[in-house]
């Protein structure tokens, strides 16, 4: 299998990213929303995951003083369960740390157990529930926090070496 590479997302990635967004979500963000995130939102940062020069996933966050909020993450079906999501989250954590954040939060669908396992392995812990958060299904969102992203990054590096 070819290597998955994470890098900063650019405007030239948006057609592929929008295609991924539409294939992964019942209520995808609009192309206009994605453009605004990259061009107008000073708090936003996005990464693209690439394999064989093709965008296979993307993730985004907002960084405010002291903390980061992961806003979205998606991986094409063909590349799920191959580490792309983990790689992108670790990439965002490094960028968040560089921007002064020491913790990260996100919301995940209550029944998305596969994603919850990924987040749990990366040090995210349950902190609350947003009732009926997802308007397409009325499903609850679990609020997860990683209170020490520097520690998660250190453990990840240690696991690579050992």
Annotated catalytic residues are: 107, 119
H or E, element range at 44: strand 44-51
CB atoms within 10 A of CB 37: 20
Distance (Å, whole) CA 55 – CA 6: 9
Task: Decide if 37 contacts 60 (C-beta within 8 A).
Answer: yes
Report residue 59 as tokens: 């993730």
b/e code 103-123 from CB counts within 10 Å (16+ = b): bbbbbbebeeeebbebbeebb
């Amino acid at each position: 299998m070819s290597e998955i590479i994470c890098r900063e997302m650019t405007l030239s990635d948006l057609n592929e990213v929008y295609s991924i967004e539409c294939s992964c979500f019942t209520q995808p963000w609009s192309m206009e929303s994605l453009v605004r995130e990259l061009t107008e939102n000073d708090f936003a940062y996005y990464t693209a995951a690439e394999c064989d020069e093709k965008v296979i996933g993307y993730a985004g966050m907002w960084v405010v003083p002291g903390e980061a909020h992961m806003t979205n993450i998606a991986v094409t079906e063909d590349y799920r369960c191959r580490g792309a999501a983990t790689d992108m989250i670790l990439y965002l954590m490094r960028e968040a740390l560089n921007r002064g954040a020491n913790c990260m939060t996100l919301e995940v669908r209550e029944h998305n157990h596969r994603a919850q396992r990924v987040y749990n392995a990366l040090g995210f812990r349950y902190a609350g529930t947003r009732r009926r958060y997802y308007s397409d299904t009325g499903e609850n969102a679990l609020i997860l926090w990683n209170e020490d992203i520097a520690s998660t990054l250190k453990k990840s590096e240690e696991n690579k070496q050992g």
